[in-house]
Chain A
């Protein structure tokens, strides 16, 4: 039984023949059922495991770190340091050689080469581990700069002003503390100071604010680490410290909640920031924060559909605010701001493009319209929304016109029957009204549905867009076929094209067919199940497949953003995935293929 132990497998190749025999004599074999935790994080291990057959996932919490296969050994840390760094869990039926820890430790002590490999392995792993986490969690927060977290603006009040004036000023600026200028010194008065003075000390509201301020201001520099700020807060028992800008003046405050926001994400703070924004610059900050919180939420393990929902909600607020800021009164009165495409469906996480438009009840002054078109799209570009490759933007006169003009345009696209026209219809069908008069969108959408409902030939042509991209199979058979040169070896899969788009477009077509107005794909699926188009079980499978794809895509998008090259944002390499991940993807693709078959059947796409 132990003859199968491969002595050429590092690090055992460094052992002498005699030592090998010693190992072989002590070998045992362990069997682990799928899902069984072999070594739990933090626990020590009695033996060194060497995988014979099967696969072992290395997980840190829920995050997958590595997958071990035959010849890999684990876990040296559990053995040497007495505490495993990660969970080791069998994903398949797994067999391992078990080398008693006693022997391994003896070999380490005796054989330098073996020990070196062993320790270098451990340190290499630790390094990789630390690297992966450097940008993560609490550590990254402590290494962040104060300026990245500080939120409250610096507002100054004269020391002679009344408590009442101070209270009003705080309320107007929506902050909890003011800087107090009193002669040559600067102090701070907080909302709590005000309350205590009024409630506990029963001071009249006319009391000068200097009476209740404190002038021993604890301050940190904007360039300091959060770590320093935390130290200062702890040392002085403060929940708020002042922030000094490089010029020496006060720039604002840093509160403990701001630091919490860095850790937990501060999506709940962004709406307020958007509402308060008084110009493009402040709105731009909020726009950047929306994007930053995507990664943060993802890191905290928030589910992708929740991330998409939060992000869409924030983006919509941003659009509305931008519209309010830029639209001149005639446009604001006659217009309806449309958000379309993935943004309209509420499925965009990392920004890949922008699809938006403007519907007007009637003609508006040309110069104002032109300025708004340029201003709006320009501002979004400045906020980091990449331009739409199909030019579906407010800046395109086609997408910002009176409603009857757009309805004419829609009819034209319906009859045009080209893939480009179908794509435009698809984008428009996902539109939601973000600001202005929603009845304009309802009118245009009603016209589109009236044009398409029951029109088999037109719907088929629209449906046929689904055939633009193939859905690969990650099954055994196709990898064998690919191995002998039949079919494309899927070494890279575009998740968006192969998985997301077929589901999204399929549901869009069927929703149009049945006059379902909801835009989010999951809602459409539910409505279609309701209408009897799918069995409830299949509907659920479709929704979870879509979420699987969105999750993998988000992961690869964030990696792409870190790489700084978003052109290949949706590519996933199956070879780089763990067995478990590949299984999940394979199942999701199977659902998509199954759906595509019935879709093809329904809309007779076989003939195109």
Chain B
């Protein structure tokens, strides 16, 4: 650690919960004497704007979360959420600041190939809708664990689902932590470790204080902020090119070191297995994400649910088109300006990886380039506040997996006491926060969209196969689901660890053992085959009873009529 005594002294000061820009400028003043080569001067205007907007955003969302219809009375609680509002909320749930930073960074680095993420995320959406959402609504269940335990043995299913959820949450959290950590590092000129610790500490404080609920209104505000910021940036970029995208692409090809290659699907051709694998992960992972499915229950009727999906798809598609424009805008604006780069060995500037703060920060730099310091502060604040919201939501999901699924249903067998459950979920939240800090630090240089891709891969390999098979295939039994689900989960995680991203880039080995970037194609296959095979081999009386009770579940899942469960006793 290259820390001078002044910095050593000033940093803990700064760590005391973003205690005002004063502390940071003191920290910087100490650092400036040493003349650190990889840090920019502090942009006080941006920082001021950042604080203004972070506090403002948190305040608005806090108000929105606390807002209850106090004017309402008992007999006219009224005023439900409309399809349009819920559409915005779904979009808000789905679009994370990490994917905003990550996808624009990928486009910045590789051009067209970054688009596969945009498309994948978007396509995942109708999959959720057609395969899962309506059935879930009809079954009256919130989570995949609840759905799968409709006719399967809930104790074993919940052990699986809680494990799967925790792993997915961990991967997803890495992406958010890296995004937020980089942002703080860049903006305040802090060491990355401190940046990650600050973010993690804030997140724990935030969740522990009851923090932000993932309420509909919070998600709506989040969606509006992200859409607004991204729209402004895209317009600014397009305005620069006279609203002629062709001119933008032409200039991008000129300045990008890869030249023409950025307009062609390079990675897709050279490594189709990775590309297909990623596509599968993005498409089917959504259905396995713990926090998305709930959203279908917040509107009152099926019609409004469908309408909200229509709007949400529109918003999400629009958002990903914007990230694409922003990525190309970043190529044209940043690659021509060396002040956004640090020189590598021998003073050579690598136009892709040499970007200050890494490629994840392309959109943030672009904000500075098109809108100056104030807009930089604004975009950073929006990204940071929305990351915090996602992180809080994810942490709560993970905490609930432990407290509700593991403790209440498995250990206490449904006789859990509510206070203990709450206490346990708070402890879990703190533990998850600490784990997130460690993982966020370890995975510093990963692209955040890539990490999200891995989270989706795990979700697609564990949660999704169990969900799909238990609702669609009559022959699925508890043992099958359990074995197949765990096989999918373990194989996905092992393959990720053995792949280039972890084995080489993080753990420092020379060659990856697993040759592809994303494991979904293989781990999903393993999971489905595992479920099928074990279910077929399972000839216990219990398995036969589970198969027999499929019809009741099927009718209910298609029509919404029938009992709440078809438990086999």
Residues of chain B within 8 A (CB-CB) of A608 are 215-216, 298
How far is it, in angstroms, between the C-alpha of A347 and the C-alpha of B3 when the chains are bound? 67
How far is it, in angstroms, between the C-alpha of A600 and the C-alpha of B396 when the chains are bound? 12
B251 at the interface (CB under 8 A from A): no
Asked if B142 and A532 sit within 8 Å, CB to CB, the answer is no
Minimal Cβ-Cβ distance residue in A for B211: A606
Asked if A420 and B564 sit within 8 Å, CB to CB, the answer is no
A390 at the interface (CB under 8 A from B): yes
Asked if A457 and B69 sit within 8 Å, CB to CB, the answer is no
Interface size class of A (residues with CB under 8 A): 35 or more
Question: Pick the contact of A467 from B68, B415, B420 — CB < 8 Å?
Answer: B68
Asked if B75 and A423 sit within 8 Å, CB to CB, the answer is yes
Closest-CB distance, A569 to chain B (whole angstroms): 13
Asked if A601 and B422 sit within 8 Å, CB to CB, the answer is yes
Asked if B297 and A389 sit within 8 Å, CB to CB, the answer is no
Asked if A468 and B295 sit within 8 Å, CB to CB, the answer is no
Asked if B419 and A598 sit within 8 Å, CB to CB, the answer is yes
A458 at the interface (CB under 8 A from B): yes
Minimal Cβ-Cβ distance residue in A for B77: A419
Closest-CB distance, B147 to chain A (whole angstroms): 10
Residues of chain B within 8 A (CB-CB) of A598 are 418-419, 421-422
Closest-CB distance, B424 to chain A (whole angstroms): 10
B36 at the interface (CB under 8 A from A): no
Asked if A457 and B417 sit within 8 Å, CB to CB, the answer is no
A501 at the interface (CB under 8 A from B): yes
A372 at the interface (CB under 8 A from B): no
B141 at the interface (CB under 8 A from A): yes
Closest-CB distance, B143 to chain A (whole angstroms): 9
Given that A597-B210, A608-B216 are contacting pairs, would A456 and B141 also be in contact in the complex, using a CB cutoff of 8 Å?
A: yes
How far is it, in angstroms, between the C-alpha of A487 and the C-alpha of B65 when the chains are bound? 12
User: Hey, what's the 0/1 contact readout for A595-608 against B, CB within 8 Å counting as 1?
Assistant: 00111111010111
Given that A419-B77, A597-B422, A606-B396 are contacting pairs, would A457 and B140 also be in contact in the complex, using a CB cutoff of 8 Å?
A: yes
Asked if B419 and A420 sit within 8 Å, CB to CB, the answer is no
Asked if B416 and A457 sit within 8 Å, CB to CB, the answer is no
B565 at the interface (CB under 8 A from A): yes
Give B21-76 interface residues, CB cut-off 8 Å to A: 66, 68-70, 72-76
Minimal Cβ-Cβ distance residue in B for A607: B294
Interface size of B by Cβ–Cβ distance < 8 Å? 46
Given that A417-B300, A606-B396 are contacting pairs, would A534 and B417 also be in contact in the complex, using a CB cutoff of 8 Å?
A: yes
Closest-CB distance, A604 to chain B (whole angstroms): 6
Asked if A454 and B564 sit within 8 Å, CB to CB, the answer is yes
How far is it, in angstroms, between the C-alpha of A417 and the C-alpha of B560 when the chains are bound? 14
Residues of chain B within 8 A (CB-CB) of A390 are 74-75
Given that A419-B78, A467-B68, A533-B417 are contacting pairs, would A460 and B213 also be in contact in the complex, using a CB cutoff of 8 Å?
A: no
Minimal Cβ-Cβ distance residue in A for B63: A487
Closest-CB distance, B67 to chain A (whole angstroms): 8
Given that A469-B70, A607-B214 are contacting pairs, would A599 and B78 also be in contact in the complex, using a CB cutoff of 8 Å?
A: no
Identify which of B72, B80, B418, B560 gathers the most chain A CB atoms within 10 Å of its CB: B418
Closest-CB distance, A542 to chain B (whole angstroms): 11
Asked if A456 and B142 sit within 8 Å, CB to CB, the answer is yes
Residues of chain A within 8 A (CB-CB) of B416 are 532
Residues of chain B within 8 A (CB-CB) of A601 are 400, 403-404, 418, 421-422, 425
A535 at the interface (CB under 8 A from B): yes
Give B182-229 interface residues, CB cut-off 8 Å to A: 210, 213-216
Asked if B417 and A461 sit within 8 Å, CB to CB, the answer is no
Minimal Cβ-Cβ distance residue in A for B423: A598
Minimal Cβ-Cβ distance residue in B for A533: B418
Residues of chain A within 8 A (CB-CB) of B560 are 415
B551 at the interface (CB under 8 A from A): no
Residues of chain B within 8 A (CB-CB) of A119 are none
Closest-CB distance, A24 to chain B (whole angstroms): 47
User: Hey, what's the 0/1 contact readout for A501-537 against B, CB within 8 Å counting as 1?
Assistant: 1000000000000000000000000000001111100
* For the complex of A and B, 8 pairs with smallest distance between CB atoms: A419-B77, A454-B564, A390-B75, A598-B418, A457-B140, A532-B415, A606-B213, A607-B294
13 A–B contacts from the bound complex (CB under 8 Å):
A423-B75, A455-B140, A456-B146, A460-B142, A465-B77, A468-B77, A532-B416, A598-B421, A598-B422, A599-B418, A601-B418, A602-B421, A607-B295
